[in-house]
């Protein structure tokens, strides 16, 4: 509950309406197939209805992100605490192992250290590594802070990719004083979480400053040149790039910013296009995003019955939430996975163990 109270920067991005999502793989890099089933069993609408019946109203923000209208994660916590009657809650009480003698156990201890409780249990674990972090950036493999960081605060719609791999992302990219952040960086950190961990968070990374085909960009720049022959390169820039970023990209391309557009030859044009579409840097480490992170890895879905989330090895042992090898990009998808998996486990327990409906 303490963690829930700080989700979404204290506003609790409780779920997502999934309306702009083309495929679940896009948002659940691990567990997409399973989430298809879980979302059919307990979709966001059922979750919201449950809370609405208890007086909570919701708002939807860009990207389909759903928050309580009160903008207060505490409201969600209070409603949950009020709803769980007849249950003893022990706070500040760490378990080192699971009790042997209970009828059923649900493990919801989250990712990372929460997995330690599983000890030597015969459960297949996919080793946990962090996901959802921002990138520290340098210009050379062993270099210091990248020159790009002088543009701190600049943001634009961009693409990010790791050369030689399939990992790429698109979205808002924010230049920070240490490197790259914003949805495009967080998504890439999620897609490539294991790859980056295996490479000690050191890797080449390519920024595509404009998400358009090369031909479109060439036509756009040639058009600017034809319309502004007597103006300096720095005074007219393509739409979508800020003046500050444009001046930086001119420098990256080895072009003088006071050169006239009429003087831009094919060599200069080629270099400019190349830098805009593939500007190369190095990831030299990772930084937490507003203390927000999730674990990639956990209890393997191959070791649980996917209809009940019960261990295949030990009857009565269930898993829900982040301890499972399911994780998502930001946007309310991680909490929705926790709600849906918890529902599946609760339903099984109610049906099988003849507990009271709750
Ligand atoms: C700062 C932050 C903000 C986030 N914001 C969002 C958001 O807005 N939207 C979203 O979708 N996702 C968000 N996430 C991710 C989301 O919080 C998690 O995916 C979600 O909380 C997972 O729920 P869970 O119940 O599985 O695990 P947790 O919420 O981590 O709960 C696990 C609980 O188990 C307890 N525990 C662990 N080990 C033991 C033990 N040995 N004995 C006893 N207790 C133990 C922990 O203390 C904790 O209370 C955020 C994550 C962070 C860190």
CATH number at residue 122: 3.50.50.60
Q: How high is the pLDDT of residue 114?
A: 86
Q: Which helix (H) or strand (E) holds 167?
A: none
Best probe residue, ligand 1, of 2, 3, 329, 331 (max atoms within 8 Å of C-beta):
3
| Residues 12, 92 within the same domain | yes
* Ligand 1 pocket, residue 8 CB under 6 Å: yes
Distance of CA 320 from the midpoint of ligand 1 (Å): 11
pTM score: 0.93
In a domain, 358, yes or no: no
Predicted confidence at residue 354, as pLDDT, reads 67
Domain boundary residue, one of 270, 291, 312:
291
Residue where a domain stops, chosen among 267, 291, 315: 291
Residue 97 and residue 227 in one domain: no
- Do 59 and 147 reside in the same domain of the chain? no
Query: Does any domain span residue 343?
Result: yes
- Quote the ligand 1 centre to 274 CA distance (angstroms): 43
Cβ of residue 98 lying under 6 Å from some atom of ligand 1: no
Question: What is the reported pLDDT for 34?
Answer: 97
Do 159 and 282 share a domain, yes or no?
yes
Q: Which of 273, 291, 309 is the last residue of a domain?
A: 291
DSSP assignments along 262-281, one per residue: GG--HHHHHHHHHHHH-EEE
Task: Determine the pLDDT at residue 352.
Answer: 87
- Are 155 and 253 found together in one domain? yes
Query: Do 141 and 119 have their domain in common?
Result: no
DSSP at 60: E
Residues 121 and 170 grouped into a single domain: no
Q: Whose CA is nearest to atom 44 of ligand 1?
A: 94
The three-class DSSP label of residue 63 is helix
Q: Are strands 125-131 and 179-181 parallel, antiparallel or unpaired?
A: unpaired
Report the alpha-carbon distance of residue 110 to residue 117 in Å, rounded. Answer: 10
Nearest CA to ligand 1 atom 1: 292
Same domain, 141 and 161: yes
Look-up: residue for tokens 């952040």?
A: 181
Residue of 66, 190, 318, 335 to mutate, ligand 1, most atoms within 8 A of C-beta: 335
Domain residues for 258?
A: 133-291
Co-location of 203 and 320 in the same domain: no
Number of domains forming the structure of the chain: 2
Strand ranges in the chain using DSSP code E only, listed in sequence order: 15-16, 58-61, 65-68, 105-107, 125-131, 133-138, 155-161, 168-175, 179-181, 203-208, 279-288, 294-299, 304-305, 310-311, 317-319
User: Would you say 47 and 83 are in contact if contact means Cβ atoms under 8 Å apart?
Assistant: no
Distance (Å) from CA 341 to ligand 1 centroid: 14
Residue 139 lies in a domain: yes
- pLDDT score of 356: 57
CA distance linking residue 307 with residue 348, whole number of Å: 9
Q: Would you say residue 20 lies in a domain?
A: yes
Secondary element (H or E) of residue 82:
helix 73-83
The total of other beta-carbon atoms located within 10 Å of residue 215's CB is 9
pLDDT value for 292: 64
- 174 - beta bridge partners? 155, 181
What is the mean pLDDT, run by run of 10 residues, along the chain of 358 residues? Answer: 89 96 96 97 97 97 96 96 88 86 86 86 91 95 91 95 97 95 96 97 97 94 95 93 96 95 95 97 88 87 96 93 96 97 96 67
């Amino acid at each position: 509950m303490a963690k829930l109270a700080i989700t979404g920067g204290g506003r609790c991005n409780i779920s997502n309406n999934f309306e702009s999502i083309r495929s679940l793989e896009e948002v659940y890099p691990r567990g997409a197939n399973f989430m298809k089933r879980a979302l059919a069993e307990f979709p966001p609408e059922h979750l919201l209805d449950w809370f609405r019946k208890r007086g909570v109203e919701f708002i939807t923000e860009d990207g389909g992100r759903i928050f309580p209208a009160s903008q207060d994660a505490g409201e969600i916590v209070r409603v949950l605490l009020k709803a769980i009657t007849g249950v003893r809650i022990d706070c500040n009480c760490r378990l080192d192992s699971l009790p042997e003698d209970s009828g059923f156990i649900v493990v919801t201890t989250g990712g990372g250290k929460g997995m330690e409780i599983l000890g030597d249990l015969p459960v297949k674990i996919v080793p946990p590594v962090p996901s959802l972090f921002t990138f520290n950036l340098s210009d050379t493999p062993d270099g210091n802070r990248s020159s790009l960081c002088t543009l701190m605060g600049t943001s634009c719609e961009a693409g990010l990719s790791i050369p030689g791999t399939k990992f790429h992302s698109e979205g808002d990219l924010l230049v920070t004083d240490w490197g790259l952040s914003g949805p495009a960086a967080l998504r890439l950190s999620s897609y490539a979480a294991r790859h980056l961990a295996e490479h000690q968070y050191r890797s080449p990374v390519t920024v595509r400053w404009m998400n358009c085909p090369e031909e479109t960009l060439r036509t756009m720049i040639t058009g600017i040149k034809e319309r502004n022959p007597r103006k300096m390169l720095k005074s007219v820039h393509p739409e979508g790039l800020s003046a500050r970023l444009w001046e930086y990209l001119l420098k990256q391309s080895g072009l003088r910013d006071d050169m006239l557009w009429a003087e831009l030859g094919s060599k200069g044009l080629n270099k400019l296009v190349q830098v805009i579409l593939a500007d190369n840097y190095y990831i030299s480490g990772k930084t937490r995003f507003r203390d927000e992170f999730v674990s990639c890895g956990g209890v393997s879905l191959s070791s649980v019955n996917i209809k009940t989330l019960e261990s295949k090895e030990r009857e009565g042992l269930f898993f829900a939430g982040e301890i499972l090898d399911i994780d998502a990009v930001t946007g309310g998808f991680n909490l929705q996975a926790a709600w849906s998996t918890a529902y599946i486990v609760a339903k099984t327990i109610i049906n099988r163990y003849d507990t009271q409906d709750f």
